[in-house]
Amino acid sequence: MLFIAMGSPYLDKWIYKHKKELAHIKVVFGVGGSLDVIAGKVKRAPIILQKLYMEWLYRLLTVPVAKGHESRWRRQSALPKFVYRAMIRRKAAR
């Protein structure tokens, strides 16, 4: 199992670029900035947002847009579409 802690889109691009070298690894997991939070480098969301499982919203609203990106909202809005397509493909493969 390999955990990769890079910000997006660098994380995704790095994994894609090195996918052949990583082929022998069963699970490659992109943790983004999670390790920064665990290490105390980045402040956690307020307790109420943590309890509501909405830390992602806090990050969306407070973290600056990544270099080379116009909008964090555009990238995040693509996630539901991705999950839907992945579920459809999985059903079709069965």
Dihedral, 10, 11, 17, 19 alpha carbons, nearest 10: 180
Q: Which two tokens stand for residue 64?
A: 């600056």
The pairing of beta strand 28-30 with beta strand 2-4: parallel
pLDDT digits (tens, 9 = 90+) for 8-61: 778 888 999 999 999 999 999 888 778 888 888 888 899 999 999 888 888 888
Per-residue pLDDT, 21: 94
What residues pair up with 4 in beta bridges, in sequence order? 30
